[in-house]
Amino acid sequence: MARATSNGGSLVLLAVLIWSTTPALAGDWFAVSDDVLGWGTAACSADGDAARCFGLRCKADNPPPGAEWFLFVDDAGLVDAPLQVNLSVEGRIDATFSMSPVTLGGYLQHVTPLDLPGHSDFLDALQAGQRLRVTAGDLPAFSLALAGSRAELTRALAVCAPSGRSDRPAAPSCDAEYRARVREAERLDTVPNGRLAAEGMRLDAEARLNLCRAGVRP
């Protein structure tokens, strides 16, 4: 199974930060939309040249809301086998996932489906906390900042499981923002290697429109 090198991991981390829809600092949660990390949100840290990321992304064939947690560790110790991952916020064990290996974009990762009722307490902790500590098998534990996680997780869930457009009259600003993002997606489509960024912009535009029409600002 294909596996990233340490140099490849640093390039992946750089790429997702560049293509984020909003400026992000390493460690903060940000939008991802590429062939390696998928479509959703994540936080990453770098230990030397090795990127380590945890996040939530869309997976259409999973049960509603059609999303999965994922762990990406650009480390030679990552095994192509099921992995137990402990996740703690502010020092408490908030979730323990048995994650399965997958390859996406040629990179080995580990995933588990999002169970919205079963993972609701963990989601709440992620959105309210300051630091997430990830312990996975025999790999050294690492920490991620939770800055921006509340808005990003809300946005990602709306992208993965849009509820459909509200029947309520839309504020003019909702449609104006939507049209502006669609125009930007059309522009990105004309840029070399801009297809992925354009698709991410369209998904983000639809999610933001749903939230805006429901009276929620992402």
d(CA 208, CA 211): 5
Residue 213 pLDDT class (50, 70, 90 cuts): low
Q: Is residue 196 part of a domain?
A: yes
- Span 9-57, pLDDT tens digits: 444 444 444 344 333 444 589 888 777 888 889 999 876 667 889 999 9
Do 32 and 129 fall within a single domain?
yes
Do 124 and 203 fall within a single domain?
no
d(CA 138, CA 22): 34
pTM, full prediction:
0.69
- Span 171-193, pLDDT tens digits: 667 778 878 888 888 888 888 77
Q: Is residue 218 part of a domain?
A: no
Do 60 and 115 fall within a single domain?
yes
Q: According to the per-residue pLDDT averaged within each range, which of 22-31, 77-86, 154-163, 202-211 is highest?
A: 77-86
CB 205 within 8 A of CB 181: yes
- Span 108-154, pLDDT tens digits: 999 999 998 899 999 999 999 999 999 998 888 899 999 999 999 98
Do 19 and 110 fall within a single domain?
yes
Do 122 and 70 fall within a single domain?
yes
**What's residue 26's pLDDT?**
46
CA-wise closest residue to 116 among 157, 171, 149, 80: 157
In terms of residue numbers, what domain contains 52?
A: 6-147+155-160
Residues linked to residue 98 through DSSP beta bridges, in sequence order: 84
| Residue matched to tokens 């996740």 | 87
**What's residue 27's pLDDT?**
52
Do 44 and 142 fall within a single domain?
yes
Residue 105 pLDDT class (50, 70, 90 cuts): confident
Burial class (CB in 10 A: 0-12, 13-18, 19+), 116: middle
